[in-house]
Chain A
Amino acid sequence: MKKINRFKAGMASFCFILPALLVVGLLLFYPVVSSLFYSFTSKHLIKSGCEFVWFENYVRILRDEEFWSAFLTSIKWTAASLLGQVMVGFTAALALNRIRRGRGLYRTVLIIPWAFPSIILALSWKWILNGVFGFLPNFLVKIGLCDTAPQFFSNSNLVFPTLVFINVWFGAPLIMVNVLSALQTVPQDQYEAAQLDGASPWQSFVHITLPHIRVVVGLLMVLRTIWVFNNFDTIYLITGGGPAGLTQTMPIYAYNTGWGLKQLGRSSAVTVVLLIFLLLVCMLYFKLLDKWEQEGA
């Protein structure tokens, strides 16, 4: 009788997790396995049939200068965007945490960038920064900061920092909201005790605030690293990876290979390399998070 009940309970548990298993299995693993499979083939986007080429796609992409250039751009793009987003988001969260009145309103206003589809944001920034009729370049000339309208998207020195700025503007609110939530969980009595012991605000921040929120920030970094590294739409819609490949990141390279050249096999190989790289980065992050958790415990 006991055995039957245990079996029934087991079946019930299995039924509860079955939908999730199916979703993960069908929507995640199947396409990924097929991607891995195609990376070893000559699969073409519109031509039927393909043959096994084993590691030929990997060899080709790893020998391609454009691939390495895109890889380096992706790393710069991710590092600069993350640094900017964390700094701005963190500062905004600390400021909002001090505000007693209208915190909800500020939080809502600051999260607005997340409410818009990326195509609207990209086209809006393209409009605002247009070198001929854009508001900002003409405004900078008007107030005398520049002699001629700055060309944010065509000047080779400005285009990359401009895209990073847009990405920081877009991504910082997410960091802000999450850090703010974490800040509100820090016990106030610890601050009071530190104050009584004569700790400075900086010491309170380093020894009380940071240890409490670093796990949240760490997890956010993991998520944002993956999202920013794989970001496609912002760059593609604004510069298309140009001028002269200066803003071509790995996802754009993969897209051009798969959808431009229609070489799906090669494009799949790019995405597999991307997966391996990001998994390695995530492992490093988690190692660090684990260390922090242990220290916290």
Chain B
Amino acid sequence: MKKALSLFLSAAMLLSVLAACSPQPGTGHTSPPSGAPGSDQPAQSSAPADLEGEITFWHSFTQGARLETIQAAADQFMADNPGVKINIETFSWADFYTKWTTGLSTGNVPDMSSALSTQVVEMIDAGAILPVDSLVDDIGRDQFYQNAITEMTAEDGSCYGVPLYSNTEALWYRTDLLEKYDLAVPTTWEELYEAAKVITDGENGNAFGLAMPMGTNDMMATLWLHLYVRSAGETLLTEDGRANLTSKTVIDGINYWLKVYNECSPQDSIHYNASDEATLFYQGKLAFDFNTGFQISGVEANAPELLDKLDCAAIPRVNGGDPETGCLTTNIPVVIWKNSKHPEICAAFIKYLYDPARYVDFLLSVPVGMMPALKGVTENETYQSNEIVQNFQHANEVLYQMLGGSTSIGMEYGPKAEAGLLTSQRVIENMFQDIIINGTDVETAAAEAEAKLNELFETVG
């Protein structure tokens, strides 16, 4: 009897472990009649006086100031519309992805949410969100930067996300370390390597020139390889949605980052993610880093003593004569979910966020970090008078220069579901680790990674 009981209990425990991995059944993809919640009807913004109902807004603006600004906007909106209740729930980007992908099958998704542009493609692919063309027109389609709108536009020509802000990558550096070693700001990849090497050798373990992050918990190696490849005018995802890891430029890029890893990076950076990379910079142990304008708020919060030693430059080029172009911009939109019972409230609240004063307040909750999705906002007096904006005028100029013409990774030829897989499957991170740990030949590892990505791409579309 005891044995049977023990067996039963252990089997139950094993099953409970399995249960954690079990998908929950459910439809979540029903098609209610047009106009009803869950229909394909485009979201319309209506007069605030008509609004009544409760909505849930998931967003990933987790930093204090941004969170407070959004909450204040929601509170004001509810005060202006007494029949409306907005429930705000905040998740990190990683948690948000898990929440909506798992929630979709059970219908447990919000009414509206923030998103990453690569996720918008997946959401469109899953039929989970509503087109927002009328809302975009209402706010002023011409006012938005075209690239951001293009990234939210599906093959059917409908726009599925309202761009809220953008951020673009630049080369951040410590001015004091460059001065200490009498180095100029690098403009080419080779100059960057040489400067990083001088600093790494000179600091003898106290600081490093660069830290090539290759951790499989993040997409940083993909991002850094993309920067090199994009600066040479190529892309990791071709126009016909195939992976490109074997062209001469990409092989050069892989070899370049391996050289940087071997000679200018801490060995531990093989498992670094974005947070590890940032921590090293805040510790004052890194001379160069690639990041968006969020670098400023990160340094301000974690290492304010470094704030006046911080500046940024354009992404390096392969050859000195090549034009300085932006290589990577992430556009963050707000989307309205098809399951929403009140898309009209969502649309009205989104429009409310773009009220000029409110929008500038939101952007200034992370000054320079969040770049406006609307043209002309930077000329706003309040925006211009912000202390960080004033202190980082050069960085701001560089970032705007980088913004022009650049897109999210894999979106160079328009929105593609493959772009999400390119960054989320860690194939490139594993390729780098395989070369370093197992000594696999670069060309072989690149060909294997390319084949693996192309196999994965067959699961979408």
Quick check: is B437 within 8 A (CB to CB) of the other chain?
yes
Known A-B contacts A132-B268, A236-B217, A243-B270; the reply to A271 vs B21 at CB < 8 A is yes
B23 and A243: CB pair below 8 A? no
8 A Cβ contacts from A223-271 to B: 223, 226, 230, 236, 239-246, 251, 254-255, 258-264, 267-268, 271
Complexed CA–CA distance, A244 and B448 (Å): 14
**Residue ID in chain B nearest A276 by CB atoms:** B14
Known A-B contacts A131-B267, A260-B424, A282-B14; the reply to A35 vs B19 at CB < 8 A is yes
Taking CB atoms, residues of chain B closer than 8 Å to A82 are none
B101 and A271: CB pair below 8 A? no
B14 and A275: CB pair below 8 A? yes
A263 and B459: CB pair below 8 A? yes
Contact stretch, chosen from A105-113, A153-161, A202-210:
A153-161
A258 and B21: CB pair below 8 A? yes
Which one of B22, B29, B104, B456 lies within 8 Å of A268 (CB-CB)?
Answer: B22
Contact stretch, chosen from A45-53, A88-96, A164-172, A188-196:
A45-53
Taking CB atoms, residues of chain A closer than 8 Å to B2 are 293
Known A-B contacts A130-B268, A222-B10, A286-B6; the reply to A240 vs B28 at CB < 8 A is no
Question: Smallest CB–CB gap between B126 and chain A, Å?
Answer: 4
B283 and A133: CB pair below 8 A? yes
Interface string of B1-37 (1 = CB under 8 A from A): 0110011001111111111011111011100000000
A244 and B437: CB pair below 8 A? yes
A282 and B456: CB pair below 8 A? no
Contact stretch, chosen from B150-158, B231-239, B425-433:
B425-433
Complexed CA–CA distance, A95 and B295 (Å): 52
Sorting the interface of chain A by its residue count into under 10, 10 to 19, 20 to 34 or 35 or more gives 35 or more
B15 and A45: CB pair below 8 A? no
Taking CB atoms, residues of chain A closer than 8 Å to B89 are none
Complexed CA–CA distance, A259 and B18 (Å): 15
Taking CB atoms, residues of chain A closer than 8 Å to B16 are 27-28
**Residue ID in chain A nearest B3 by CB atoms:** A290
Quick check: is A18 within 8 A (CB to CB) of the other chain?
no
A31 and B266: CB pair below 8 A? no
Main secondary structure of the interface of B (DSSP, over half): helix
Question: Smallest CB–CB gap between B38 and chain A, Å?
Answer: 13
A48 and B102: CB pair below 8 A? no
Known A-B contacts A131-B268, A239-B271, A275-B18; the reply to A244 vs B438 at CB < 8 A is yes
Taking CB atoms, residues of chain A closer than 8 Å to B122 are 46
Quick check: is A34 within 8 A (CB to CB) of the other chain?
yes
Question: Smallest CB–CB gap between A287 and chain B, Å?
Answer: 9
Taking CB atoms, residues of chain A closer than 8 Å to B29 are 48-49
Question: Smallest CB–CB gap between B101 and chain A, Å?
Answer: 5
A131 and B3: CB pair below 8 A? no
B15 and A240: CB pair below 8 A? no
A240 and B10: CB pair below 8 A? no
**Interface-centre pick from B27, B266, B285 (highest chain A CB count, 10 A):** B266
Known A-B contacts A131-B266, A132-B285; the reply to A260 vs B426 at CB < 8 A is yes
Question: Smallest CB–CB gap between B418 and chain A, Å?
Answer: 13
B271 and A226: CB pair below 8 A? no
8 A Cβ contacts from A23-43 to B: 24, 27-29, 31-32, 34-35, 38, 43
Quick check: is A86 within 8 A (CB to CB) of the other chain?
no
Which one of B22, B266, B273 lies within 8 Å of A32 (CB-CB)?
Answer: B22
Known A-B contacts A48-B27, A133-B285; the reply to A244 vs B268 at CB < 8 A is no
Quick check: is A70 within 8 A (CB to CB) of the other chain?
no
Which one of A130, A255, A275 lies within 8 Å of B15 (CB-CB)?
Answer: A275
Quick check: is B320 within 8 A (CB to CB) of the other chain?
no
B14 and A34: CB pair below 8 A? no
**Interface-centre pick from B10, B25, B126, B269 (highest chain A CB count, 10 A):** B10
B12 and A28: CB pair below 8 A? yes
B267 and A154: CB pair below 8 A? yes
Quick check: is A219 within 8 A (CB to CB) of the other chain?
yes
A241 and B216: CB pair below 8 A? yes
Quick check: is B436 within 8 A (CB to CB) of the other chain?
yes
Pairs across A and B, CB under 8 Å, 13 listed: A27-B16, A32-B22, A34-B24, A35-B22, A45-B105, A132-B285, A242-B430, A245-B433, A259-B98, A271-B21, A272-B18, A275-B14, A286-B7
Query: Can you add 16 more A-B contacts, CB < 8 Å, to A289-B6, A293-B3?
Result: A28-B12, A28-B15, A29-B15, A38-B22, A43-B23, A45-B23, A132-B208, A133-B285, A223-B13, A239-B216, A240-B271, A243-B436, A244-B433, A244-B437, A255-B21, A286-B6
Residues of A within 8 A of B (CB): 24, 27-29, 31-32, 34-35, 38, 43, 45-49, 126, 130-133, 148-149, 151, 153-156, 219, 222-223, 226, 230, 236, 239-246, 251, 254-255, 258-264, 267-268, 271-272, 274-275, 278-279, 282-283, 286, 289-290, 293
Interchain residue pairs A-B with the least CB separation, the first 6: A131-B268, A48-B29, A31-B19, A31-B22, A244-B437, A35-B22
